[in-house]
Chain A
């Protein structure tokens, strides 16, 4: 444990990562994203529309452009994410009931920005219609209630279960951070076993354990397990109790999931090393596996939309099961039975070393490190 890399990878980097993600998305939702305006009409009506747009939480009108081309160029230069185009004669058209047409342009290259601004711009455009209707109806002497009913006969009450703010911090940090913590476990497990081989300490190490690979491996990984589990629990305590992320699933589920995450990742690490008892190869496999698991977890892009072959392959990644258990049991608070498949999968990952113990023993006692 003299190697400083352990301290860095087990304590300092994980804490850094936890802080990075939770502080990056501290706002929860992107606010005041830059939007441009091309207002060729320039009347009191259109100006009030723009002021309303600016007043939205997610939108901030930062610039006016003289034509659509300039605004498009501004998007390409990364100055704005979207713009509203109001052609000449819009107000006149509204007065004469000739159905004028406005447009809004938004860029989906940054998906979050695109969809948030799409919502704002669509709302402001529909409100334009609604305000005309409202003026007309109230001039007929209709009451506010009647007007509301006429403009929107069916209203949708939206219930966003568990995350009513559609907070991205809650949505992303709860999967990305455990993913990176598991990545560290993935890498450090074969690293710590493999370096024994590399520095020719493996025979001494196994002799201490009486040549029993179980004792040797358990003894080696137990301190790491304690430290990683502590870090995991600190992370869970931080997000659920200090930052107050929703957790109707309760304490037991959290503790269980933290435990399962650590042992399954360690099990996978030992298994990878046992399959290929070479430090470099097993670490390469583990790193590639860990990095792909961010995509295959299905936390950002849903797994059921992927290619059918990949849908099945996602089950080979511990992070996928972590995410399933997290969202079913902790985030939505359903009983553990609903996630039985993922729970047993994680237990299976933890048991994988059984198959390779003999291989590890042979490697430790016979093999020589090849760089």
Chain B
């Protein structure tokens, strides 16, 4: 009976200490400017900035230069069609390729369409007519816009030529001649092919992870610097159990970031009209393990931090590699095995993949089961790692405190001895 009460008491005490640590952590978060910037201001402002940058989504009206030495009806028709296409516009007419080349150097145009002198002659002779397209390859999106437009225009004009040459009677005959096998192109997800829609979901999740890690790291750095022995865990009767420290702190981070995650995953896409197909429950199912794994990951790493500013150096440069490792830009299927393996360490890999699939593809929680499972595994592993690390830290603190007391005792004895000697 007595033992039971003892256990109950212990748990109650633990909970009380946990709440104490939680409150203290909350207070230090709000009073520490550095942590405040990365916990509140950056997650609030950065997504808006990024969305603003990418909000135009697609590349339109890419300027193209024309070198038309054919001066024929067909070449002019081609040029008109290119100008009328949504993705390109005819910006300059040049007399030679050299002249057009200079325009690329001055960034006035991103591609050149060249019609040779014999372009129309060959067409009338029923020979294959060749025209050239020169693309500036420093931007993939402009290259894609120009090339696809040129191809579409060419195939349209080609069909007209085919129709004029064949001996069909009806319009239906013409259709079948030019396209015996019809096909439909269906961009099933991200149907506009928008750049923002493709990249922003990943950036949003990465912002969550990186700011959370920065905040935790900065907080830990401050705690260590303001501590007398440069220890992470202060000496206090509230800080005696591992679980109460770890859970108390993580509860504080989790509370703040639940709000941030809701803002970033639900409000920001709505402000800028991004595709957002995820339902509330699926989002909760993904974000809870994601946030907890990031928190414990950050706490485990925060023990490595000696000075608070070092955290910035460590966390910020990893952002870009982490974004690439998630497979958002370079397809996941083509990432080398080594980097795939390394990417499994970071919660963002699974967070971004999962979020993309439920928000942009309308997947459900069961579609992203592997990712959610991985996040839960990470949560558990990093929780234990954090506990182990904190245990080590607590022992350190005790050792330092013990050394200090021993030192004091030694000094006291020496002083006493000295006193005795002087008395003698």
Chain A residues proximal to chain B, CB less than 8 Å: 5, 8-9, 13, 17, 20-21, 23-27, 30-34, 72-73, 75-78, 81, 90, 94, 97-115, 118, 121-122, 125-126, 128-129, 132-133, 136, 146, 148-164, 166, 168, 171-172, 176, 179-180, 183-184, 187-188, 191, 194-195, 198, 279-280, 283-284, 287-288, 290-292, 294-296, 298-302, 305-307, 310, 324, 327-328, 331-332, 334-335, 338, 371
B336 lies within 8 A of A162 (CB): no
B241 in the interface (beta carbon within 8 A)? no
How long is the Cα–Cα vector from A111 to B133 in the complex, in angstroms? 23
B285 in the interface (beta carbon within 8 A)? no
How long is the Cα–Cα vector from A99 to B179 in the complex, in angstroms? 7
A104 lies within 8 A of B185 (CB): yes
Taken residue by residue from 337 to 357, chain B's Cβ proximity to chain A (1 for < 8 Å, 0 otherwise) reads as 011000000000000010011
**Which of B34, B139, B191: most chain A CB closer than 10 A?**
B139
A161 lies within 8 A of B128 (CB): no
How long is the Cα–Cα vector from A167 to B106 in the complex, in angstroms? 24
How long is the Cα–Cα vector from A23 to B338 in the complex, in angstroms? 10
A371 lies within 8 A of B225 (CB): yes
A26 lies within 8 A of B320 (CB): no
How long is the Cα–Cα vector from A328 to B101 in the complex, in angstroms? 12
A167 to chain B, nearest CB (A): 9
How long is the Cα–Cα vector from A105 to B74 in the complex, in angstroms? 33
A78 lies within 8 A of B176 (CB): no
How long is the Cα–Cα vector from A148 to B127 in the complex, in angstroms? 9
Known: A160-B143, A301-B54. A290 touches B313 (CB 8 A): no
Tell me the chain B residues, 236-251 only, with Cβ under 8 Å from chain A.
none
A132 to chain B, nearest CB (A): 4
Chain A residues closer than 8 Å to B259, beta-carbon distance: none
**Which of A97, A164, A288: most chain B CB closer than 10 A?**
A288
How long is the Cα–Cα vector from A94 to B178 in the complex, in angstroms? 13
Stretch of B4-12, B153-161, B375-383, B403-411 contacting A (4+ beta carbons < 8 Å):
B153-161
B314 to chain A, nearest CB (A): 8
B33 in the interface (beta carbon within 8 A)? yes
Tell me the chain B residues, 10-64 only, with Cβ under 8 Å from chain A.
33-34, 37-38, 42, 46, 49-50, 52-56, 58-60
- Beyond contacts A161-B136, A307-B53: 18 other A-B pairs, Cβ-Cβ < 8 A, are A5-B313, A17-B317, A24-B335, A25-B330, A99-B175, A104-B186, A105-B188, A110-B327, A132-B181, A156-B130, A162-B137, A168-B140, A171-B140, A195-B309, A292-B53, A305-B56, A310-B52, A334-B105
Chain A residues closer than 8 Å to B362, beta-carbon distance: 76
How long is the Cα–Cα vector from A156 to B135 in the complex, in angstroms? 12
A290 lies within 8 A of B357 (CB): no
- A–B Cβ pairs within 8 angstroms, 5 of them: A26-B336, A104-B185, A110-B331, A292-B53, A305-B141
Known: A73-B367, A157-B132. A102 touches B181 (CB 8 A): yes
B409 to chain A, nearest CB (A): 32
A129 lies within 8 A of B316 (CB): no
How long is the Cα–Cα vector from A221 to B162 in the complex, in angstroms? 69
How long is the Cα–Cα vector from A276 to B327 in the complex, in angstroms? 38
Chain A, interface SS category = helix
Find the B residue at minimum CB distance from A107.
B189
Find the B residue at minimum CB distance from A136.
B180
A191 lies within 8 A of B309 (CB): yes
How long is the Cα–Cα vector from A172 to B138 in the complex, in angstroms? 9
Find the A residue at minimum CB distance from B119.
A154
B397 in the interface (beta carbon within 8 A)? no
How long is the Cα–Cα vector from A156 to B226 in the complex, in angstroms? 69
Stretch of B144-152, B227-235, B293-301, B415-423 contacting A (4+ beta carbons < 8 Å):
B144-152
A161 lies within 8 A of B308 (CB): no
Chain A residues closer than 8 Å to B329, beta-carbon distance: 110-112, 172, 300
Chain B residues closer than 8 Å to A24, beta-carbon distance: 324-325, 330, 335-336, 339
**Complex partner residue of B320 from A154, A176, A279, CB under 8 angstroms:** A176
**Which of A94, A153, A331: most chain B CB closer than 10 A?**
A153
A338 lies within 8 A of B183 (CB): no
B180 lies within 8 A of A115 (CB): no
How long is the Cα–Cα vector from A163 to B142 in the complex, in angstroms? 14
Chain B residues closer than 8 Å to A162, beta-carbon distance: 136-138
How long is the Cα–Cα vector from A338 to B226 in the complex, in angstroms? 54
A153 lies within 8 A of B123 (CB): yes
Chain B residues closer than 8 Å to A133, beta-carbon distance: 177, 180
Known: A72-B188, A109-B190. A32 touches B333 (CB 8 A): yes
A283 lies within 8 A of B309 (CB): yes
Find the A residue at minimum CB distance from B49.
A292
Chain B residues closer than 8 Å to A5, beta-carbon distance: 310, 313
Tell me the chain B residues, 93-145 only, with Cβ under 8 Å from chain A.
104-107, 123, 126-144
Chain A residues closer than 8 Å to B338, beta-carbon distance: 23
**Complex partner residue of A75 from B155, B317, B361, CB under 8 angstroms:** B361
A158 lies within 8 A of B135 (CB): yes
How long is the Cα–Cα vector from A160 to B308 in the complex, in angstroms? 48
Chain B residues closer than 8 Å to A279, beta-carbon distance: 309
A330 to chain B, nearest CB (A): 10
A150 lies within 8 A of B162 (CB): yes
How long is the Cα–Cα vector from A184 to B175 in the complex, in angstroms? 60
B34 lies within 8 A of A97 (CB): no
How long is the Cα–Cα vector from A51 to B53 in the complex, in angstroms? 42
A86 to chain B, nearest CB (A): 10
**Complex partner residue of A154 from B106, B157, B309, B313, CB under 8 angstroms:** B157
**Which of B38, B135, B140, B324: most chain A CB closer than 10 A?**
B140
B158 to chain A, nearest CB (A): 5
Chain B residues closer than 8 Å to A78, beta-carbon distance: 332, 353, 357
B187 in the interface (beta carbon within 8 A)? yes
How long is the Cα–Cα vector from A76 to B366 in the complex, in angstroms? 10
How long is the Cα–Cα vector from A105 to B105 in the complex, in angstroms? 38
**Complex partner residue of B34 from A111, A284, A335, CB under 8 angstroms:** A284
B86 in the interface (beta carbon within 8 A)? no
A154 lies within 8 A of B131 (CB): yes
**Complex partner residue of A290 from B181, B191, B316, CB under 8 angstroms:** B316
Known: A166-B137, A166-B143. A99 touches B182 (CB 8 A): yes
B319 in the interface (beta carbon within 8 A)? yes
Chain A residues closer than 8 Å to B327, beta-carbon distance: 110
How long is the Cα–Cα vector from A157 to B130 in the complex, in angstroms? 7
Known: A76-B367, A371-B226. A115 touches B361 (CB 8 A): no
Known: A34-B333, A152-B158, A176-B320. A280 touches B190 (CB 8 A): no
